[in-house]
């Protein structure tokens, strides 16, 4: 259970070569898809805003990203005088590497047999599986945080503080909704998560976790990873009106490009992860032709749908306020996903427990809601989350005043 | 290290190389923590140590522990360290050379030697847990989670729940203290936040 079949037998030169080829192919594919994704996003946003968008480089402007990349390469690479040089240079890579590493655990297709080896179409299938996603997404905070701090200026620091607070807050909700997937699968491995979703209820409804778990963990996960990605409507990290460019204000040239590469790579990776967790990954009907093609195609279609969703949300929704963001994370998503996790657990034990717990939740929820309404009307005190928000905004001010005093 | 050197013949070559690389990360990172003058560099070097330890866990087939190591230590605790370092403004090179605690170095050396002795003792004997420390997977499969969950929810249920209660108490008291300090403390004092607060009150 949860073991990569490639490494079950003795390790030969062949297995090593297959592993290396898998890494290279995944990296190349991800790079190309980032290039296409940036073009897709710009083009789609243009359509939604009644503009034309990039249309000069290549057919339909599809080579625009390449042109931009080349341009950024040849621009001057500025390092601010007050910056911490080593960390400043390190930070872009710290955001890029976790973005790629998360993609390695995503199953992009079925299982193929190559030269006498059974090869899963994913770079790695570690037994810790989906925990790797949580580990890497918690590590990816460093890139943003250190970039903001090492720039040695105020807006980046503000952006970085916002970003790390936001990412840490939403990680909890994300982890809890992943936990309900793990609970119903009985394994941490991503391949097991995908294979357990194969099949259908009554022959028509796919047995995806989206349906099996109820839609709630899916929605929680979707919102949480949008916040993790710092994408609109949760892009307070780089709110132009307030923070210039957020944590990457001081970055230029190729380091700036690396941040954008990481951001779009993260978007693609997280879309792939949500497909894996809730939409059956490469699961889908085989409509003829070679057997290994259709799973990959289904995977690409589902991932593409989420990429479209992200662009759509960016064009359609206004940015939330900082206290709204924290309220949503701590007061809505975490309680809801925690309650739903208990419910899924109870349903696993027996249906009677499950429905009893569900009824209890409704009663408790109603009481809680009433209590909160009464409590709010009785006290005009600022709640703790808002004061935390203003705390984060205030901190660099105290920093500078202390410097002034010296 | 001594243990590894003794039974070096019994270890497969890839395992040995992985161990040495990870050990280098761990020890190098640990040295970095105390050698670097800049606290942020020290914290970064601590992350290196955490990753090295995670690799060592994976090598011992403790994948779950490795993931938890990264999530909790590298992902949460060192982030908090960095938060404190950045927000309290101690992110500059330390200017002072004088040591505030005179006995610091000898004490650290003594504690280090005691800790080393304890580790060696635990690796060699069985009196602490009643079983020899093993470097093979516990149970018959790779499924760490099942083994840990059974232990936590049956044999060690009471300690587990007690820890949970302790954490809840810590969280609640933390929230309470933070809230009490916040209330009315700086509305008049800091003109920058006074504005912000007024706006928020008006919105309500």
- Taking only the tens place, the pLDDT of each residue in B4-57 is 444 455 566 777 888 899 999 999 999 999 888 888 888 889 999 999 999 988
A349-362: burial string, b at 16+ Cβ within 10 Å, e else: eeeeebeebeeebe
pTM of the model: 0.81
Give me the helix-helix angle, A85-103 and A13-48, nearest 10°. Answer: 100
Tokens of A308: 């479209």
Is B203's Cβ below 8 Å from some Cβ in A?
no
Judged by CB atoms closer than 8 Å, whether chains meet at A134 and B67 is answered as yes
Domain boundary (B73, B93, B113) is at B93
By Cβ distance, the residue of B86, B142, B200 closest to A386 is: B200
| pLDDT for res B131 | 67
Helix runs in A186-252, H state only? 190-195, 209-212, 216-228, 240-243
Judged by CB atoms closer than 8 Å, whether chains meet at B143 and A402 is answered as no
Question: Which residue is it, tokens 């002072």?
Answer: B96
Judged by CB atoms closer than 8 Å, whether chains meet at A149 and B82 is answered as yes
Judged by CB atoms closer than 8 Å, whether chains meet at A1 and B141 is answered as yes
For position B45, which CATH number holds? 1.20.120.1200
| pLDDT for res B158 | 92
By Cβ distance, the residue of B40, B64, B66 closest to A149 is: B40
Rounded CA separation A383/A387 (Å): 7
Rounded to 5°, angle at Cα A311 from A309 and A317: 90
Which residues of B fall within a CB distance of 8 Å from A387? Answer: 178-179, 182
Question: How many domains does one find in chain B?
Answer: 2
Distance set, CA A279 to CA A197, A282, A405, B91 (Å): 8, 8, 57, 45
Of A234, A135, A232, the closest CA to residue B79 belongs to A135
Rounded CA separation A273/B12 (Å): 35
**B111 is a domain residue:** no
ipTM beyond cut 0.90? no
pLDDT per residue rounded down to tens, chain A (406 residues): 446 677 766 777 878 888 888 889 889 988 899 988 999 999 899 988 888 888 888 788 888 888 888 888 888 888 888 778 888 888 888 888 998 888 888 888 777 777 777 777 788 888 888 888 888 888 888 888 888 888 888 888 888 888 888 888 888 889 899 999 988 888 888 888 888 888 777 777 788 888 888 888 999 999 999 988 888 888 877 766 777 767 778 888 888 888 888 889 999 999 999 999 888 888 877 777 777 788 888 889 999 999 999 999 988 888 888 888 888 888 889 988 988 898 888 888 888 888 888 888 889 889 988 998 888 887 655 555 454 444 444 444 444 444 444 4
Domain boundary (B93, B125, B146) is at B93
**B22 is a domain residue:** yes
Contact A385, A326 (CB under 8 A): yes
Which residues of B fall within a CB distance of 8 Å from A3? Answer: 142
Scan residues 140-179 of B and list those with Cβ closer than 8 Å to A. 141-145, 175, 178-179
Which residues of B fall within a CB distance of 8 Å from A166? Answer: none
Cis before A233 (ω within 30): yes
Nearest CA in chain A to B141: A1
**B52 is a domain residue:** yes
Tokens of B67: 């993931």
Rounded CA separation B111/A312 (Å): 59
The whole domain housing B197 covers 156-204
| pLDDT for res A158 | 82
**B138 is a domain residue:** no
Is A13's Cβ below 8 Å from some Cβ in B?
no
Tokens of B141: 């499969």
Whether residues B1 and B88 share a domain: the answer is yes
Domain boundary (B66, B93, B120) is at B93
pLDDT per residue rounded down to tens, chain B (204 residues): 334 444 455 566 777 888 899 999 999 999 999 888 888 888 889 999 999 999 988 887 788 888 888 988 888 888 888 888 877 766 555 555 666 777 888 898 999 999 999 888 877 777 666 666 555 555 555 577 788 888 888 888 999 999 999 999 999 998 888 876 555 555 444 444 444 444 444 443
Question: Which residue is it, tokens 């635990």?
Answer: B122
């Amino acid at each position: 259970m949860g073991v990569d079949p490639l490494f079950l037998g003795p390790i030969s030169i062949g297995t090593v070569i297959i592993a290396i080829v898998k890494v290279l192919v995944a990296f190349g594919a991800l790079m190309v898809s980032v290039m296409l994704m940036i073009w897709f996003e710009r083009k789609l946003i243009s359509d939604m805003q009644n503009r034309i968008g990039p249309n000069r480089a290549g057919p339909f402007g599809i080579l625009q990203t390449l042109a931009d990349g080349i341009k950024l390469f040849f621009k001057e690479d500025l390092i601010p005088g007050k910056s911490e040089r080593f960390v400043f240079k390190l930070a872009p890579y710290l955001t890029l590497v976790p973005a790629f590493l998360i993609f390695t655990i995503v199953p992009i297709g079925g299982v193929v047999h190559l030269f006498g080896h059974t090869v899963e179409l994913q770079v790695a299938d570690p037994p810790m599986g989906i925990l790797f996603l949580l580990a890497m997404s918690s590590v990816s905070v460093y890139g943003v945080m250190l970039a903001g701090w090492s720039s040695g200026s105020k807006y980046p620091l503000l952006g970085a503080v916002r970003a790390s607070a936001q990412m840490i807050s939403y990680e909890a909700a994300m982890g809890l909704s992943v936990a309900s997937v793990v609970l119903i699968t009985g394994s941490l491995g991503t391949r097991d998560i995908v294979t357990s979703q194969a099949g259908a209820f009554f022959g028509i409804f796919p047995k995806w976790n989206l349906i099996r778990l109820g839609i709630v963990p899916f929605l929680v996960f979707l919102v949480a990873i949008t916040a993790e990605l710092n994408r609109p409507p949760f892009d307070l990290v780089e709110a132009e009106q307030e923070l210039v460019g957020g944590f990457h204000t001081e970055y230029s040239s190729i380091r700036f490009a690396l941040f954008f590469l990481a951001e779009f790579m993260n978007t693609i990776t997280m879309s792939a992860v949500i497909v894996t967790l809730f939409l059956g990954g490469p699961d889908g009907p085989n409509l003829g032709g070679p057997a290994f093609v259709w799973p990959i195609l289904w995977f690409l279609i589902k991932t593409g749908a989420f990429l479209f969703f992200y662009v759509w949300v960016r064009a359609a929704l206004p940015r939330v306020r900082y206290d709204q963001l924290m309220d949503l994370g701590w007061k809505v998503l975490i309680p809801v996903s925690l309650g739903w996790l208990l419910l899924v657990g109870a349903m696993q034990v027996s249906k009677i427990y499950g429905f009893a717990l569900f009824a209890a939740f409704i009663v408790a929820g109603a009481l809680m809601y009433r209590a909160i309404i009464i409590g709010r009307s009785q006290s005009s005190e600022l709640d703790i989350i808002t004061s935390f928000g203003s705390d984060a905004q205030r901190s660099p001010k105290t920093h500078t005043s202390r410097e002034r005093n010296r | 290290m001594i243990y590894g050197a003794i039974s070096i013949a019994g270890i497969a070559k890839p395992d040995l190389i992985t161990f040495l690389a990870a050990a280098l990360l761990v020890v190098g990172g640990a040295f970095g923590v105390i050698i670097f003058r800049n606290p942020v560099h020290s914290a970064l070097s601590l992350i290196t140590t955490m990753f090295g330890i995670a690799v060592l866990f994976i090598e011992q087939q403790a994948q779950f522990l490795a993931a938890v190591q990264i999530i909790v230590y590298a992902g949460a605790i060192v982030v908090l360290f960095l938060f404190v370092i950045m927000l309290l403004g101690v992110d500059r090179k330390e200017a002072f050379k004088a040591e505030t605690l005179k006995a610091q170095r000898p004490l650290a050396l003594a504690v280090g030697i005691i800790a080393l002795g304890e580790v060696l003792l635990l690796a060699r004997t069985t009196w602490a847990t009643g079983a020899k420390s093993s470097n093979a997977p516990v149970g018959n499969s790779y499924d760490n989670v099942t083994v840990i969950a059974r232990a936590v929810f049956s044999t060690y249920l009471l300690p587990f729940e007690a820890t949970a209660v302790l954490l809840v108490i810590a969280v609640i008291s933390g929230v309470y203290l933070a809230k009490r300090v916040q209330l009315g403390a700086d509305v008049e004092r800091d003109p920058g936040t006074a504005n912000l607060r007024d706006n928020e009150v008006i919105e309500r």
